[in-house]
């Protein structure tokens, strides 16, 4: 059933894919502080007065909350910023949702887990974040769970269309370096589940339409290190993957702790009749073709 949906963080990597997916079936209003656009409102979600004013004026049925500070290293350097964007914004939105009986969809992360499991994590497994990013996102989950009708969606590392107005992402920088014959070092220790934002957006739209609640993991099943992922991208672009090298280990105590195997299990997604996102191997050629920039 169509709904009036508020999408926060509509100008970001995920929000940019979720916005058109939701608009295909719902009435959508979007926020973006970092990417001003004629069809997006500028709202500072860290300020409860701005959040309340917007909710009072627009009266959404659902809020999909994508505002976040996703840079793990930046969160470690600046805990106040991490708390403001990952916790305070969620607290403000959650309170407004509870006050107006609005459904809340909160986007979380696989980094709420410590990655020590060799089989992966189901929705009911106990979180144990290793770093500020994971801890603040878990606090955001706690705030979101205070809304009577809520859905917490945990996601892995995402890739998608470049965000207008932002610098090159690591994929674009890597492809450019390879096209210029330069060596690139990539991590070959942490195994993650790279997932295309368009696949996540399709699941979120279906979850909104079906009024899903609880906790849901949305991720591809393909597990790759950044180096293995980079080699697939290089091959699809016709560029020399031999120039990719394993990055050297960072001395102990100097690197932000990251879970080695933060794998999200998607059995619940499948049990609910929703499509599990395809892996990098399935999407890599079409994804690379969608990118501006160098090819072999």
- Name the average pLDDT for the chain: 93
Tens of pLDDT along 175-214?
999 999 999 999 999 999 999 999 999 999 999 999 999 9
Residue 275 reports pLDDT greater than 90: yes
The b-or-e profile of 123-155 (16+ CB within 10 A means b, else e) is: beeebebbbbbbbbbbbbbebbeebeebbbbbb
Q: How far apart are CA 246 and CA 61, in angstroms?
A: 47
pLDDT tens across 89-129, in order? 999 999 999 999 999 999 999 999 999 999 999 999 999 99
Model confidence at 2, pLDDT cuts 50, 70, 90, reads confident
Comparing CA positions, the residue from 75, 220, 196, 88 lying closest to residue 142 is 88
Per-residue 3-state assignment (H helix, E strand, C coil) for 59-72: CCCEEEECCCCCCH
Q: Which helix (H) or strand (E) is 271 found in, with range?
A: helix 267-271
Give the integer Cα–Cα distance in Å for 190 and 178.
22
How far are the Cα atoms of 87, 151, 239 from residue 170, in angstroms, in the given order?
27, 30, 15
pLDDT tens per residue across span 226-259: 999 999 999 999 999 999 999 987 766 667 889 9
Determine which of 21-30, 120-129, 247-256, 286-295 has the lowest per-residue pLDDT on average: 247-256
Go through the domains of the chain in sequence order and give each one's CATH number: 4-162+194-223+263-283 (3.40.50.720)
Residues 6 or more apart in contact with residue 210 via CB below 8 angstroms? none
- At 32, is the pLDDT very low, low, confident or very high (cuts 50, 70, 90)? confident
Supply the pLDDT for residue 291. 87
Share of the chain above pLDDT 90, in %: 83
Determine how many CB atoms are found less than 10 A away from the CB of residue 265.
17
96: how many CB neighbours lie within 10 A of its CB?
Answer: 23
Where would I find the H helices in 101-255? 132-144, 170-179, 197-210, 226-237
The arithmetic mean of pLDDT across residues 213-219, rounded, is: 98
Hey, what are 253's tokens? 């105590």
Q: Which of the pair, 161 or 37, is modelled with greater confidence?
A: 161
- The predicted pLDDT at position 36 comes to 62
Helix orientation angle between 89-100 and 132-144, rounded to the nearest 10 degrees = 10
Q: Which of 163-167, 208-212, 221-225 has the lowest mean pLDDT?
A: 163-167
Q: Are 75 and 69 in contact (CB under 8 A)?
A: yes
């Amino acid at each position: 059933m169509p709904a009036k949906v508020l999408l926060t963080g509509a100008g970001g990597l995920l929000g940019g894919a979720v916005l058109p997916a939701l608009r295909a079936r719902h009435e959508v209003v979007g926020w973006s502080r970092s990417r001003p656009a004629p069809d997006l409102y500028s709202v500072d979600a860290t300020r409860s007065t701005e959040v309340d004013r917007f909710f009072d004026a627009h009266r959404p049925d659902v809020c999909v909350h994508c505002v976040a500070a996703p840079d793990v290293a930046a969160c470690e350097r600046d805990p106040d910023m991490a708390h403001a964007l990952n916790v305070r914004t969620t607290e403000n939105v959650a309170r407004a949702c509870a006050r107006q009986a609005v459904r809340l969809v909160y986007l979380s992360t696989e980094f709420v887990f410590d990655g020590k499991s060799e089989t992966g994590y189901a929705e009911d497994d106990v979180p144990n974040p290793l770093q500020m990013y994971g801890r603040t996102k878990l606090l955001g989950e706690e705030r979101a769970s205070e809304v009577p009708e809520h859905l917490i969606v945990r996601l892995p590392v995402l890739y998608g269309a470049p965000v207008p107005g932002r610098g090159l992402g690591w994929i674009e920088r890597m492809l450019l370096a390879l096209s210029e014959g330069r060596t690139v070092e990539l991590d070959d220790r942490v195994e993650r589940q790279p997932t295309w934002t368009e696949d996540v957006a399709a699941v979120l739209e279906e979850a909104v339409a079906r009024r899903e609640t609880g906790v849901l993991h949305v991720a591809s099943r393909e597990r790759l290190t950044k180096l293995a992922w980079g080699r697939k991208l290089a091959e699809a672009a016709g560029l020399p993957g031999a120039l990719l090298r394993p990055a050297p280990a960072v001395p102990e105590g100097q690197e932000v702790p990251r879970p080695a195997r933060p794998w999200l299990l998607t059995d619940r997604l499948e049990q609910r009749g929703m499509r599990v996102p395809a892996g990098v191997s399935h999407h890599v050629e079409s994804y690379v073709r969608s990118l501006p920039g160098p090819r072999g």
